[in-house]
Structure 1
Amino acid sequence: MKTVIEQSIKTTNFETYLNRAGEENSEVILFLHGSGPGVTAFANWRYALAACSETYECLAPDLLGFGKSGHPETLPKNRQGWMDLWVNQLIELLDELDIQKAHLVGNSLGCSIALELLLEHPERFDKVVLMGPGGTPNTKLSPELARAKGFYDNPSPKKLRQIMSWFVYDAEAMAPIIDSITDYRYETAMRPEVQLSNDSIFATAAVPVPVTALRRIEHPILLVHGRDDMVCSVDSSYYLLSHLPNAQLHVYGKCGHWTQIEKQESFNHLIQNYFANKI
Protein backbone atom coordinates (compact mmCIF):
# COMPACT_ATOMS: atom_id res chain seq x y z
CA MET A 1 0.00 0.00 0.00
CA LYS A 2 1.39 3.36 -1.04
CA THR A 3 1.70 6.20 1.45
CA VAL A 4 -0.77 9.02 0.91
CA ILE A 5 1.04 12.34 0.98
CA GLU A 6 -0.96 15.36 2.13
CA GLN A 7 0.17 18.73 0.87
CA SER A 8 -1.15 22.23 0.34
CA ILE A 9 -0.43 23.55 -3.14
CA LYS A 10 -0.57 27.25 -4.01
CA THR A 11 -1.41 28.14 -7.59
CA THR A 12 -2.11 31.55 -9.12
CA ASN A 13 -5.63 31.88 -7.75
CA PHE A 14 -6.17 28.97 -5.35
CA GLU A 15 -4.87 27.14 -2.30
CA THR A 16 -5.60 23.44 -2.81
CA TYR A 17 -5.23 20.74 -0.18
CA LEU A 18 -4.18 17.58 -2.01
CA ASN A 19 -4.02 13.89 -1.15
CA ARG A 20 -1.45 12.25 -3.44
CA ALA A 21 -0.17 8.69 -3.80
CA GLY A 22 1.73 6.62 -6.36
CA GLU A 23 3.68 9.60 -7.71
CA GLU A 24 6.18 7.28 -9.43
CA ASN A 25 3.50 5.86 -11.76
CA SER A 26 3.14 7.24 -15.29
CA GLU A 27 -0.66 7.45 -15.65
CA VAL A 28 -2.68 9.79 -13.43
CA ILE A 29 -6.17 9.57 -11.95
CA LEU A 30 -7.82 12.76 -10.68
CA PHE A 31 -10.53 11.96 -8.11
CA LEU A 32 -13.31 14.51 -7.54
CA HIS A 33 -15.38 14.19 -4.37
CA GLY A 34 -19.06 14.95 -3.81
CA SER A 35 -20.78 17.51 -1.59
CA GLY A 36 -22.40 17.47 1.84
CA PRO A 37 -21.57 18.52 5.40
CA GLY A 38 -17.89 18.05 6.18
CA VAL A 39 -17.00 16.08 3.06
CA THR A 40 -13.33 15.91 2.10
CA ALA A 41 -11.42 14.18 -0.66
CA PHE A 42 -9.82 11.76 1.81
CA ALA A 43 -13.16 10.81 3.39
CA ASN A 44 -14.52 10.12 -0.09
CA TRP A 45 -11.56 8.36 -1.68
CA ARG A 46 -9.27 6.82 0.97
CA TYR A 47 -9.97 3.22 -0.12
CA ALA A 48 -9.56 4.04 -3.81
CA LEU A 49 -6.30 5.87 -3.13
CA ALA A 50 -4.90 2.81 -1.36
CA ALA A 51 -5.92 0.41 -4.12
CA CYS A 52 -5.28 2.43 -7.27
CA SER A 53 -1.95 4.00 -6.29
CA GLU A 54 -0.18 0.67 -6.86
CA THR A 55 -0.61 1.27 -10.60
CA TYR A 56 -1.60 4.92 -11.02
CA GLU A 57 -0.59 8.26 -9.60
CA CYS A 58 -3.68 9.30 -7.66
CA LEU A 59 -4.68 12.89 -6.95
CA ALA A 60 -7.61 13.63 -4.63
CA PRO A 61 -7.92 17.37 -3.93
CA ASP A 62 -10.35 19.09 -1.60
CA LEU A 63 -12.43 21.26 -3.90
CA LEU A 64 -12.56 24.98 -3.27
CA GLY A 65 -15.01 25.57 -0.41
CA PHE A 66 -14.46 22.11 1.09
CA GLY A 67 -12.14 20.70 3.72
CA LYS A 68 -8.70 22.28 4.03
CA SER A 69 -8.63 23.95 0.61
CA GLY A 70 -9.24 27.69 0.29
CA HIS A 71 -12.67 29.24 0.57
CA PRO A 72 -13.70 32.11 -1.73
CA GLU A 73 -13.80 35.53 -0.11
CA THR A 74 -16.68 36.52 -2.37
CA LEU A 75 -19.16 33.67 -2.61
CA PRO A 76 -20.55 32.88 -6.09
CA LYS A 77 -24.18 33.83 -6.65
CA ASN A 78 -25.11 30.68 -8.56
CA ARG A 79 -23.96 27.11 -9.22
CA GLN A 80 -22.30 28.00 -12.51
CA GLY A 81 -20.17 30.50 -10.64
CA TRP A 82 -18.99 27.71 -8.34
CA MET A 83 -18.45 25.42 -11.34
CA ASP A 84 -16.21 27.97 -13.03
CA LEU A 85 -14.11 28.28 -9.88
CA TRP A 86 -13.76 24.49 -9.50
CA VAL A 87 -12.79 24.03 -13.15
CA ASN A 88 -10.16 26.75 -12.90
CA GLN A 89 -8.87 25.38 -9.59
CA LEU A 90 -8.35 21.90 -11.03
CA ILE A 91 -6.72 23.03 -14.26
CA GLU A 92 -4.35 25.27 -12.29
CA LEU A 93 -3.54 22.29 -10.05
CA LEU A 94 -2.71 20.04 -13.02
CA ASP A 95 -0.59 22.81 -14.54
CA GLU A 96 1.31 23.32 -11.28
CA LEU A 97 2.02 19.57 -11.07
CA ASP A 98 3.03 19.53 -14.77
CA ILE A 99 0.39 16.91 -15.60
CA GLN A 100 -0.81 17.28 -19.16
CA LYS A 101 -3.39 14.49 -19.20
CA ALA A 102 -5.27 12.47 -16.59
CA HIS A 103 -8.08 10.01 -16.15
CA LEU A 104 -11.07 11.35 -14.21
CA VAL A 105 -13.21 9.80 -11.47
CA GLY A 106 -16.12 11.86 -10.14
CA ASN A 107 -18.60 11.15 -7.36
CA SER A 108 -21.98 12.92 -7.22
CA LEU A 109 -21.17 16.65 -7.48
CA GLY A 110 -17.75 15.57 -8.74
CA CYS A 111 -19.47 14.04 -11.78
CA SER A 112 -20.97 17.39 -12.73
CA ILE A 113 -17.55 19.03 -12.39
CA ALA A 114 -16.00 16.25 -14.48
CA LEU A 115 -18.45 16.93 -17.31
CA GLU A 116 -17.62 20.65 -17.16
CA LEU A 117 -13.92 19.81 -17.39
CA LEU A 118 -14.57 17.64 -20.46
CA LEU A 119 -16.44 20.46 -22.12
CA GLU A 120 -13.95 23.21 -21.28
CA HIS A 121 -10.65 21.31 -21.46
CA PRO A 122 -11.24 18.06 -23.40
CA GLU A 123 -7.59 17.66 -24.35
CA ARG A 124 -6.52 17.33 -20.69
CA PHE A 125 -8.45 14.14 -19.94
CA ASP A 126 -8.51 10.54 -21.14
CA LYS A 127 -10.99 8.01 -19.73
CA VAL A 128 -13.70 9.00 -17.26
CA VAL A 129 -15.68 7.29 -14.50
CA LEU A 130 -18.86 8.99 -13.23
CA MET A 131 -20.07 7.37 -10.00
CA GLY A 132 -23.52 8.22 -8.62
CA PRO A 133 -24.05 11.30 -10.81
CA GLY A 134 -26.89 13.74 -10.24
CA GLY A 135 -27.50 17.16 -11.72
CA THR A 136 -29.50 15.90 -14.70
CA PRO A 137 -32.96 17.12 -15.75
CA ASN A 138 -34.53 13.94 -14.32
CA THR A 139 -32.63 14.13 -11.00
CA LYS A 140 -35.22 14.68 -8.29
CA LEU A 141 -34.55 16.24 -4.89
CA SER A 142 -34.92 13.16 -2.70
CA PRO A 143 -36.13 13.47 0.91
CA GLU A 144 -32.70 12.18 2.00
CA LEU A 145 -30.86 14.94 0.15
CA ALA A 146 -33.35 17.57 1.32
CA ARG A 147 -32.72 16.55 4.94
CA ALA A 148 -28.96 16.63 4.36
CA LYS A 149 -29.26 20.21 3.14
CA GLY A 150 -30.83 21.12 6.49
CA PHE A 151 -27.98 19.72 8.60
CA TYR A 152 -26.78 23.14 9.79
CA ASP A 153 -30.23 24.12 11.07
CA ASN A 154 -29.46 22.07 14.18
CA PRO A 155 -26.11 20.33 13.73
CA SER A 156 -25.04 17.40 15.89
CA PRO A 157 -22.97 14.21 15.49
CA LYS A 158 -26.19 12.19 15.85
CA LYS A 159 -27.87 14.09 13.03
CA LEU A 160 -24.84 13.73 10.76
CA ARG A 161 -24.66 10.00 11.46
CA GLN A 162 -28.32 9.66 10.52
CA ILE A 163 -27.67 11.46 7.24
CA MET A 164 -24.62 9.26 6.52
CA SER A 165 -26.73 6.13 7.09
CA TRP A 166 -29.01 7.16 4.22
CA PHE A 167 -26.06 7.05 1.81
CA VAL A 168 -25.70 3.27 2.10
CA TYR A 169 -27.93 0.29 1.41
CA ASP A 170 -27.30 -1.63 4.64
CA ALA A 171 -26.66 0.84 7.46
CA GLU A 172 -26.28 -1.93 10.05
CA ALA A 173 -23.55 -3.74 8.14
CA MET A 174 -21.81 -0.45 7.39
CA ALA A 175 -22.10 0.91 10.95
CA PRO A 176 -18.35 0.89 11.81
CA ILE A 177 -17.47 2.77 8.63
CA ILE A 178 -20.38 5.20 9.07
CA ASP A 179 -19.20 5.92 12.61
CA SER A 180 -15.63 6.65 11.51
CA ILE A 181 -16.80 8.85 8.62
CA THR A 182 -19.19 10.75 10.91
CA ASP A 183 -16.46 11.53 13.45
CA TYR A 184 -14.12 12.72 10.71
CA ARG A 185 -16.70 14.76 8.84
CA TYR A 186 -18.35 16.37 11.86
CA GLU A 187 -15.11 18.00 12.96
CA THR A 188 -14.61 19.41 9.46
CA ALA A 189 -18.26 20.44 9.09
CA MET A 190 -18.18 22.61 12.20
CA ARG A 191 -15.42 24.89 10.91
CA PRO A 192 -17.04 28.31 10.21
CA GLU A 193 -15.57 28.72 6.72
CA VAL A 194 -16.75 25.22 5.73
CA GLN A 195 -20.28 25.97 6.88
CA LEU A 196 -20.29 29.29 5.01
CA SER A 197 -19.22 27.65 1.75
CA ASN A 198 -21.60 24.72 2.25
CA ASP A 199 -24.56 27.04 2.77
CA SER A 200 -23.66 28.94 -0.39
CA ILE A 201 -23.27 25.80 -2.53
CA PHE A 202 -26.51 24.21 -1.31
CA ALA A 203 -28.39 27.47 -1.84
CA THR A 204 -27.68 27.17 -5.57
CA ALA A 205 -29.39 24.84 -8.01
CA ALA A 206 -27.59 22.45 -10.36
CA VAL A 207 -27.31 23.57 -13.96
CA PRO A 208 -27.66 20.46 -16.17
CA VAL A 209 -25.34 20.13 -19.15
CA PRO A 210 -27.43 20.57 -22.34
CA VAL A 211 -28.04 17.47 -24.44
CA THR A 212 -26.32 19.15 -27.38
CA ALA A 213 -23.15 19.47 -25.27
CA LEU A 214 -23.35 15.93 -23.85
CA ARG A 215 -23.54 14.51 -27.38
CA ARG A 216 -20.28 16.26 -28.27
CA ILE A 217 -18.27 14.66 -25.46
CA GLU A 218 -16.24 11.95 -27.19
CA HIS A 219 -14.35 10.63 -24.16
CA PRO A 220 -14.91 7.01 -23.11
CA ILE A 221 -17.10 7.18 -20.00
CA LEU A 222 -18.01 4.49 -17.49
CA LEU A 223 -21.11 5.27 -15.44
CA VAL A 224 -21.27 3.48 -12.07
CA HIS A 225 -24.36 3.58 -9.86
CA GLY A 226 -25.92 1.81 -6.90
CA ARG A 227 -29.34 0.49 -7.83
CA ASP A 228 -30.64 1.47 -4.40
CA ASP A 229 -29.15 4.98 -4.34
CA MET A 230 -31.61 7.15 -2.39
CA VAL A 231 -29.56 10.36 -2.79
CA CYS A 232 -29.12 10.48 -6.58
CA SER A 233 -31.36 7.96 -8.32
CA VAL A 234 -29.90 5.55 -10.88
CA ASP A 235 -32.25 7.27 -13.35
CA SER A 236 -29.60 10.01 -13.61
CA SER A 237 -27.07 7.52 -14.98
CA TYR A 238 -29.60 6.12 -17.46
CA TYR A 239 -30.19 9.69 -18.66
CA LEU A 240 -26.47 10.27 -19.23
CA LEU A 241 -26.12 6.85 -20.87
CA SER A 242 -28.74 7.86 -23.42
CA HIS A 243 -26.88 11.04 -24.43
CA LEU A 244 -23.13 10.44 -23.99
CA PRO A 245 -21.94 8.81 -27.25
CA ASN A 246 -19.19 6.60 -25.76
CA ALA A 247 -20.70 5.61 -22.41
CA GLN A 248 -21.43 2.31 -20.69
CA LEU A 249 -23.15 1.67 -17.35
CA HIS A 250 -22.41 -0.67 -14.45
CA VAL A 251 -25.16 -0.97 -11.81
CA TYR A 252 -24.58 -2.55 -8.39
CA GLY A 253 -27.53 -4.17 -6.63
CA LYS A 254 -27.87 -3.78 -2.85
CA CYS A 255 -25.83 -0.60 -3.02
CA GLY A 256 -26.61 3.03 -2.26
CA HIS A 257 -24.77 6.26 -3.07
CA TRP A 258 -21.33 5.23 -1.82
CA THR A 259 -20.31 2.57 -4.33
CA GLN A 260 -16.63 3.30 -3.66
CA ILE A 261 -17.16 2.34 0.00
CA GLU A 262 -19.95 -0.25 -0.05
CA LYS A 263 -18.46 -2.16 -3.00
CA GLN A 264 -14.92 -0.92 -2.56
CA GLU A 265 -12.97 -3.97 -3.73
CA SER A 266 -15.13 -4.51 -6.81
CA PHE A 267 -15.25 -0.79 -7.57
CA ASN A 268 -11.48 -0.42 -7.40
CA HIS A 269 -10.96 -3.43 -9.70
CA LEU A 270 -13.63 -2.11 -12.07
CA ILE A 271 -12.17 1.33 -12.59
CA GLN A 272 -8.59 0.10 -12.91
CA ASN A 273 -9.62 -2.49 -15.50
CA TYR A 274 -11.53 0.21 -17.34
CA PHE A 275 -8.55 2.57 -17.43
CA ALA A 276 -6.35 -0.33 -18.56
CA ASN A 277 -8.65 -1.02 -21.56
CA LYS A 278 -9.73 -4.40 -20.17
CA ILE A 279 -13.43 -3.49 -20.19
Structure 2
Amino acid sequence: MTTSTEVPAMRERLLDVDGKKIFVAEAGEGAPVLLLHGGGPGASGVSNYSRNITELAKEFRVVVPDLPGYGRSGKGVDLADPFGALASGIRGVLDQLNLEKAHFVGNSYGGACALRLALDTPQRVDRMVLMGPGGIGTTRALPTPGLNSLLNYYTGDGPSRPKLEKFIRDYLVFNAARIPDSIIDARYQDSIAPEVVAAPPLRRPTSLRALWKMDFTRDKRLDRLAVPTLVLWGAEDKVNRPSGGRMLAGRMPDCDLYEVANTGHWVQWERAELFNRLCADFLAGRR
Protein backbone atom coordinates (compact mmCIF):
# COMPACT_ATOMS: atom_id res chain seq x y z
CA MET A 1 0.00 0.00 0.00
CA THR A 2 1.25 3.47 -0.88
CA THR A 3 0.48 6.90 0.50
CA SER A 4 1.43 8.97 -2.52
CA THR A 5 -0.31 12.31 -2.91
CA GLU A 6 0.05 11.98 -6.69
CA VAL A 7 -3.55 11.61 -7.86
CA PRO A 8 -3.96 9.66 -11.12
CA ALA A 9 -5.49 11.21 -14.21
CA MET A 10 -9.20 11.30 -13.49
CA ARG A 11 -12.32 11.40 -15.60
CA GLU A 12 -14.19 14.58 -14.74
CA ARG A 13 -17.76 15.67 -15.33
CA LEU A 14 -20.35 18.11 -14.06
CA LEU A 15 -23.68 16.41 -13.36
CA ASP A 16 -27.09 18.05 -13.26
CA VAL A 17 -28.93 16.85 -10.15
CA ASP A 18 -32.38 18.37 -9.74
CA GLY A 19 -31.21 21.58 -11.33
CA LYS A 20 -28.00 21.82 -9.29
CA LYS A 21 -24.50 21.09 -10.54
CA ILE A 22 -22.41 18.45 -8.78
CA PHE A 23 -18.83 17.92 -9.88
CA VAL A 24 -17.44 14.38 -9.85
CA ALA A 25 -14.04 12.91 -10.69
CA GLU A 26 -13.51 9.20 -11.34
CA ALA A 27 -10.59 6.77 -11.50
CA GLY A 28 -10.28 3.01 -11.77
CA GLU A 29 -12.66 0.19 -12.62
CA GLY A 30 -14.63 -2.29 -10.56
CA ALA A 31 -17.24 -2.01 -7.83
CA PRO A 32 -18.20 1.67 -7.40
CA VAL A 33 -17.00 3.50 -4.28
CA LEU A 34 -18.04 7.08 -3.54
CA LEU A 35 -15.59 9.07 -1.42
CA LEU A 36 -17.39 11.88 0.44
CA HIS A 37 -15.21 14.64 1.87
CA GLY A 38 -15.41 16.60 5.11
CA GLY A 39 -16.95 20.02 5.63
CA GLY A 40 -13.97 22.18 6.54
CA PRO A 41 -13.39 25.53 4.80
CA GLY A 42 -11.99 25.05 1.30
CA ALA A 43 -12.58 21.29 1.29
CA SER A 44 -13.15 19.35 -1.90
CA GLY A 45 -13.30 15.70 -2.86
CA VAL A 46 -10.01 15.08 -4.64
CA SER A 47 -7.97 17.19 -2.21
CA ASN A 48 -9.50 15.44 0.80
CA TYR A 49 -8.61 12.00 -0.53
CA SER A 50 -5.34 12.84 -2.27
CA ARG A 51 -3.49 10.08 -0.38
CA ASN A 52 -6.11 7.41 -1.04
CA ILE A 53 -7.45 7.64 -4.59
CA THR A 54 -4.46 6.03 -6.32
CA GLU A 55 -4.49 2.97 -4.07
CA LEU A 56 -8.24 2.44 -4.02
CA ALA A 57 -8.49 2.90 -7.79
CA LYS A 58 -6.37 -0.23 -8.26
CA GLU A 59 -9.37 -2.30 -7.21
CA PHE A 60 -12.48 -0.10 -7.40
CA ARG A 61 -14.25 2.43 -9.57
CA VAL A 62 -13.56 5.44 -7.36
CA VAL A 63 -16.07 8.28 -7.68
CA VAL A 64 -15.13 11.50 -5.88
CA PRO A 65 -17.79 14.23 -5.80
CA ASP A 66 -17.50 17.74 -4.48
CA LEU A 67 -20.39 17.88 -2.03
CA PRO A 68 -23.06 20.52 -2.71
CA GLY A 69 -21.69 23.88 -1.59
CA TYR A 70 -18.04 22.88 -2.09
CA GLY A 71 -15.38 22.87 -4.77
CA ARG A 72 -16.73 22.94 -8.31
CA SER A 73 -20.26 21.96 -7.30
CA GLY A 74 -23.13 24.40 -7.06
CA LYS A 75 -23.36 26.48 -3.91
CA GLY A 76 -26.07 26.54 -1.28
CA VAL A 77 -27.38 23.86 1.12
CA ASP A 78 -30.82 23.59 2.73
CA LEU A 79 -30.10 24.72 6.29
CA ALA A 80 -33.41 23.29 7.53
CA ASP A 81 -32.09 19.76 6.90
CA PRO A 82 -28.44 19.90 5.77
CA PHE A 83 -27.67 16.17 6.00
CA GLY A 84 -30.89 15.31 4.20
CA ALA A 85 -30.06 17.77 1.42
CA LEU A 86 -26.55 16.35 1.04
CA ALA A 87 -27.88 12.79 0.94
CA SER A 88 -30.44 13.74 -1.68
CA GLY A 89 -27.76 15.33 -3.83
CA ILE A 90 -25.46 12.30 -3.64
CA ARG A 91 -28.36 9.93 -4.31
CA GLY A 92 -28.91 12.01 -7.43
CA VAL A 93 -25.28 11.37 -8.38
CA LEU A 94 -25.97 7.62 -8.20
CA ASP A 95 -28.97 8.10 -10.48
CA GLN A 96 -27.01 10.18 -12.99
CA LEU A 97 -24.25 7.56 -13.08
CA ASN A 98 -26.81 4.74 -13.45
CA LEU A 99 -25.67 3.11 -10.22
CA GLU A 100 -28.34 1.17 -8.35
CA LYS A 101 -26.07 0.93 -5.30
CA ALA A 102 -22.48 1.62 -4.30
CA HIS A 103 -20.02 1.52 -1.44
CA PHE A 104 -19.65 4.77 0.50
CA VAL A 105 -16.65 6.22 2.34
CA GLY A 106 -17.39 9.37 4.32
CA ASN A 107 -15.18 11.66 6.38
CA SER A 108 -16.85 13.94 8.97
CA TYR A 109 -19.52 15.93 7.06
CA GLY A 110 -19.28 13.35 4.28
CA GLY A 111 -19.72 10.61 6.87
CA ALA A 112 -22.93 12.25 8.04
CA CYS A 113 -24.08 12.44 4.42
CA ALA A 114 -23.36 8.73 3.87
CA LEU A 115 -25.10 7.71 7.10
CA ARG A 116 -28.20 9.78 6.31
CA LEU A 117 -28.34 8.33 2.80
CA ALA A 118 -28.11 4.81 4.24
CA LEU A 119 -30.85 5.50 6.77
CA ASP A 120 -33.18 6.97 4.13
CA THR A 121 -32.42 4.46 1.34
CA PRO A 122 -30.42 1.47 2.66
CA GLN A 123 -30.98 -0.39 -0.60
CA ARG A 124 -28.64 2.08 -2.34
CA VAL A 125 -25.68 1.35 -0.03
CA ASP A 126 -23.55 -1.79 -0.29
CA ARG A 127 -20.91 -1.27 2.41
CA MET A 128 -19.96 1.87 4.27
CA VAL A 129 -16.79 3.25 5.90
CA LEU A 130 -17.24 6.24 8.23
CA MET A 131 -14.36 8.31 9.60
CA GLY A 132 -15.29 10.51 12.56
CA PRO A 133 -18.76 11.20 11.09
CA GLY A 134 -20.69 14.29 12.08
CA GLY A 135 -24.06 14.19 13.75
CA ILE A 136 -23.23 11.75 16.53
CA GLY A 137 -24.61 13.08 19.82
CA THR A 138 -24.58 16.71 18.70
CA THR A 139 -27.56 17.61 20.88
CA ARG A 140 -26.28 15.79 23.97
CA ALA A 141 -23.15 17.85 24.71
CA LEU A 142 -21.64 21.23 23.93
CA PRO A 143 -19.70 21.45 20.65
CA THR A 144 -16.01 20.55 20.87
CA PRO A 145 -13.41 23.34 20.53
CA GLY A 146 -12.58 21.98 17.07
CA LEU A 147 -16.18 22.06 15.91
CA ASN A 148 -16.59 25.59 17.29
CA SER A 149 -13.49 26.66 15.36
CA LEU A 150 -14.98 25.17 12.22
CA LEU A 151 -18.41 26.74 12.65
CA ASN A 152 -16.94 30.17 13.49
CA TYR A 153 -14.73 30.40 10.40
CA TYR A 154 -17.09 32.64 8.44
CA THR A 155 -18.43 34.59 11.44
CA GLY A 156 -16.92 37.43 13.47
CA ASP A 157 -14.18 39.10 11.48
CA GLY A 158 -14.71 36.65 8.61
CA PRO A 159 -12.43 34.07 7.00
CA SER A 160 -8.67 34.45 7.22
CA ARG A 161 -5.62 32.30 6.67
CA PRO A 162 -4.64 32.38 10.39
CA LYS A 163 -8.11 31.13 11.35
CA LEU A 164 -7.88 28.30 8.85
CA GLU A 165 -4.34 27.39 9.89
CA LYS A 166 -5.38 27.24 13.54
CA PHE A 167 -8.29 24.92 12.71
CA ILE A 168 -6.13 22.58 10.63
CA ARG A 169 -3.02 22.49 12.82
CA ASP A 170 -4.68 22.68 16.26
CA TYR A 171 -7.82 20.62 15.69
CA LEU A 172 -7.87 18.67 12.43
CA VAL A 173 -4.72 16.59 12.90
CA PHE A 174 -2.68 15.07 15.71
CA ASN A 175 0.75 15.97 14.29
CA ALA A 176 0.54 19.54 12.96
CA ALA A 177 4.14 19.46 11.68
CA ARG A 178 3.13 17.01 8.97
CA ILE A 179 0.75 19.47 7.27
CA PRO A 180 2.56 21.44 4.55
CA ASP A 181 1.78 25.11 4.10
CA SER A 182 0.67 24.36 0.54
CA ILE A 183 -2.44 22.54 1.82
CA ILE A 184 -3.42 25.50 3.98
CA ASP A 185 -2.74 27.97 1.17
CA ALA A 186 -4.87 26.05 -1.34
CA ARG A 187 -7.76 25.54 1.03
CA TYR A 188 -7.70 29.18 2.10
CA GLN A 189 -7.97 30.38 -1.49
CA ASP A 190 -10.90 28.05 -2.12
CA SER A 191 -12.58 29.14 1.12
CA ILE A 192 -12.71 32.80 0.13
CA ALA A 193 -14.31 32.39 -3.29
CA PRO A 194 -17.06 35.05 -3.36
CA GLU A 195 -19.87 32.55 -3.96
CA VAL A 196 -18.71 30.49 -0.95
CA VAL A 197 -18.43 33.50 1.37
CA ALA A 198 -21.94 34.52 0.30
CA ALA A 199 -23.35 31.08 1.20
CA PRO A 200 -21.04 29.14 3.55
CA PRO A 201 -21.91 25.45 3.23
CA LEU A 202 -21.39 24.57 6.90
CA ARG A 203 -23.14 26.75 9.46
CA ARG A 204 -24.81 26.43 12.82
CA PRO A 205 -28.36 25.02 12.62
CA THR A 206 -31.00 27.67 12.13
CA SER A 207 -33.56 26.06 14.45
CA LEU A 208 -33.91 23.45 17.18
CA ARG A 209 -35.78 21.24 14.70
CA ALA A 210 -32.84 21.39 12.28
CA LEU A 211 -30.41 20.61 15.10
CA TRP A 212 -32.35 17.50 16.13
CA LYS A 213 -32.42 16.30 12.52
CA MET A 214 -28.61 16.49 12.60
CA ASP A 215 -28.24 14.12 15.59
CA PHE A 216 -28.30 10.49 14.48
CA THR A 217 -28.42 9.23 18.06
CA ARG A 218 -32.06 10.36 18.12
CA ASP A 219 -32.93 8.38 14.96
CA LYS A 220 -34.46 5.01 15.89
CA ARG A 221 -33.68 3.68 12.41
CA LEU A 222 -30.02 3.45 13.44
CA ASP A 223 -30.77 0.37 15.55
CA ARG A 224 -31.92 -1.62 12.53
CA LEU A 225 -29.60 -0.26 9.83
CA ALA A 226 -28.07 -3.53 8.61
CA VAL A 227 -25.61 -2.03 6.09
CA PRO A 228 -22.16 -3.53 6.87
CA THR A 229 -20.20 -0.62 8.33
CA LEU A 230 -16.64 0.05 9.38
CA VAL A 231 -16.09 3.05 11.65
CA LEU A 232 -12.57 4.51 11.83
CA TRP A 233 -12.08 7.17 14.49
CA GLY A 234 -8.91 8.98 15.52
CA ALA A 235 -8.37 8.53 19.24
CA GLU A 236 -7.21 12.18 19.45
CA ASP A 237 -10.06 13.64 17.38
CA LYS A 238 -10.75 17.20 18.63
CA VAL A 239 -13.62 17.90 16.21
CA ASN A 240 -15.99 14.96 16.74
CA ARG A 241 -15.69 12.99 19.97
CA PRO A 242 -14.26 9.45 19.62
CA SER A 243 -16.97 8.18 21.96
CA GLY A 244 -19.26 8.47 18.94
CA GLY A 245 -17.57 5.45 17.40
CA ARG A 246 -18.37 3.28 20.38
CA MET A 247 -21.97 4.46 20.28
CA LEU A 248 -22.32 3.49 16.61
CA ALA A 249 -20.73 0.09 17.17
CA GLY A 250 -23.09 -0.51 20.08
CA ARG A 251 -26.27 0.39 18.21
CA MET A 252 -25.78 -0.64 14.58
CA PRO A 253 -26.37 -4.37 13.94
CA ASP A 254 -23.31 -4.89 11.68
CA CYS A 255 -20.69 -2.32 12.65
CA ASP A 256 -16.97 -2.77 13.27
CA LEU A 257 -14.97 -0.08 15.08
CA TYR A 258 -11.27 0.69 14.71
CA GLU A 259 -10.00 3.48 16.97
CA VAL A 260 -6.73 4.80 15.58
CA ALA A 261 -4.05 5.82 18.10
CA ASN A 262 -2.16 9.13 17.83
CA THR A 263 -4.52 10.34 15.11
CA GLY A 264 -6.90 13.27 14.88
CA HIS A 265 -9.96 13.94 12.73
CA TRP A 266 -8.30 13.29 9.37
CA VAL A 267 -7.63 9.53 9.53
CA GLN A 268 -7.45 9.07 5.75
CA TRP A 269 -4.63 11.62 5.52
CA GLU A 270 -2.67 11.10 8.76
CA ARG A 271 -2.78 7.30 8.60
CA ALA A 272 -3.18 6.84 4.87
CA GLU A 273 -1.43 3.47 4.57
CA LEU A 274 -3.51 1.94 7.36
CA PHE A 275 -6.67 3.56 6.02
CA ASN A 276 -6.09 2.34 2.47
CA ARG A 277 -5.54 -1.23 3.59
CA LEU A 278 -8.49 -1.38 6.00
CA CYS A 279 -10.82 0.36 3.59
CA ALA A 280 -9.95 -1.83 0.59
CA ASP A 281 -10.19 -5.04 2.58
CA PHE A 282 -13.52 -4.14 4.16
CA LEU A 283 -15.16 -2.96 0.95
CA ALA A 284 -13.96 -6.05 -0.91
CA GLY A 285 -15.36 -8.34 1.76
CA ARG A 286 -11.94 -9.38 3.07
CA ARG A 287 -13.19 -8.57 6.55
Q: TM-score, normalised to structure 1's length?
A: 0.90
The one-letter amino acid paired with 2:125 is F
Q: Counterpart in 2 of 1:191? A: 193
Q: Counterpart in 2 of 1:169? A: 174
The reply to whether residue 51 of structure 1 matches residue 55 of structure 2 is: yes
Mapped to 2, the partners of 1:98 and 1:77 lie a distance apart of 28
Q: Counterpart in 1 of 2:247? A: 239
Tell me how far 1:217 sits from its aligned partner.
0.5
The one-letter amino acid paired with 2:31 is E
Give a deviation string over 1:139-188, Cα, whole Å, max 9, x none: 6411122122222333222221121112111112x132xx2221111111
Give a deviation string over 1:205-262, Cα, whole Å, max 9, x none: 4621235210120111000011011111111111111111100101110100000000
1:35-184 paired onto structure 2 within 5 Å? 35-72=39-76, 76-78=78-80, 80=81, 82-137=82-137, 138=140, 140-152=142-154, 153-154=156-157, 155-165=159-169, 166-172=171-177, 174-176=178-180, 179-184=181-186
Q: Counterpart in 2 of 1:202? A: 203
Three-state SS of the structure 1 residue aligned to 2:172 is coil
Mapped to 2, the partners of 1:243 and 1:222 lie a distance apart of 13
Tell me how far 1:268 sits from its aligned partner.
0.6
CA contact (8 A) 1:139 1:235 kept: no
Mapped to 2, the partners of 1:127 and 1:77 lie a distance apart of 28
Mapped to 1, the partners of 2:238 and 2:65 lie a distance apart of 26
Tell me how far 1:37 sits from its aligned partner.
1.2
State the Cα RMSD in Å: 1.7
The one-letter amino acid paired with 1:3 is A
Structure 1: gaps (5+ residues): none
Give a deviation string over 1:109-158, Cα, whole Å, max 9, x none: 11211111112221111111010123122564111221222223332222
Do the aligned partners of residues 212 and 262 (structure 1) sit closer, same or farther apart at CA in structure 2, a change above 3 Å counting?
Answer: same
CA contact (8 A) 2:151 2:202 kept: no
Indicate the larger mover: 267-276 or 113-122: 113-122
The one-letter amino acid paired with 2:214 is V
Q: Counterpart in 2 of 1:5? A: 11
Tell me how far 1:77 sits from its aligned partner.
4.1
Three-state SS of the structure 2 residue aligned to 1:215 is helix
Mapped to 1, the partners of 2:78 and 2:8 lie a distance apart of 37
Q: Count matched residues.
A: 269
Q: Counterpart in 1 of 2:36? A: 32
The reply to whether residue 250 of structure 1 matches residue 258 of structure 2 is: yes
Mapped to 2, the partners of 1:180 and 1:258 lie a distance apart of 17
Three-state SS of the structure 2 residue aligned to 1:39 is coil
Three-state SS of the structure 1 residue aligned to 2:94 is helix
Mapped to 1, the partners of 2:179 and 2:92 lie a distance apart of 38
Indicate the larger mover: 143-152 or 40-49: 143-152
Mapped to 1, the partners of 2:146 and 2:17 lie a distance apart of 36
Mapped to 1, the partners of 2:88 and 2:150 lie a distance apart of 27
CA contact (8 A) 2:84 2:117 kept: no
Structure 2: gaps (5+ residues): 1-6, 206-210
Three-state SS of the structure 1 residue aligned to 2:55 is helix
The one-letter amino acid paired with 1:87 is A
Three-state SS of the structure 2 residue aligned to 1:278 is coil
Three-state SS of the structure 1 residue aligned to 2:187 is helix
CA contact (8 A) 1:139 1:232 kept: no
Mapped to 2, the partners of 1:63 and 1:41 lie a distance apart of 7
CA contact (8 A) 2:32 2:60 kept: yes
Q: Counterpart in 2 of 1:228? A: 236
The one-letter amino acid paired with 1:187 is Q
The one-letter amino acid paired with 1:62 is D
